Amino acid sequence: MVRIFKNIAILEGISYLVLFANMLLIKPTNLALYKTFLYPIGMTHGVLFIGYVALAFLITKSQKWSFGTLSIVLLASLLPLATFFVEKKYLQIPVNK
């Protein structure tokens, strides 16, 4: 489950950046292209965001996160690039020897 959350965290961060790029780079130059990309990018980001939040709650117990750590992980879903930080700092996958 942690491996899935790591992947969702990375994909959610990428989708957030793509959504911003669409808004900041494409919208001023080509409104029709912006509107074409807005729904699929927005929908993808929304699904990944919901998955990120749901999985954060599901793995809280297995990762032994405190309420403060869970709060940081959830706050990271609202800030650009923060999910990459969460993926590196809080999500350790045990190595089987």
Residue 11: pLDDT band with limits 50, 70, 90: very high
Higher-pLDDT residue of 92, 68: 68
- Cα–Cα distance for residue pair 43/41, rounded to 1 Å: 6
Residue with tokens 């899935």: 4
Is the pLDDT score of 95 beyond 60?
no
Is the pLDDT score of 32 beyond 70?
yes
Can you list the alpha helix ranges (DSSP code H) found in the chain? 2-21, 31-63, 67-76, 82-89
Computed from CA positions of residues 54, 59, 65, 69, in that sequence, does the dihedral angle turn out positive or negative?
Answer: negative
Is the pLDDT score of 96 beyond 60?
no
3-state secondary structure (DSSP) of residue 39? helix
> Residue 96 to residues 12, 93: CA-CA distances in angstroms?
27, 9
pTM for this prediction: 0.81
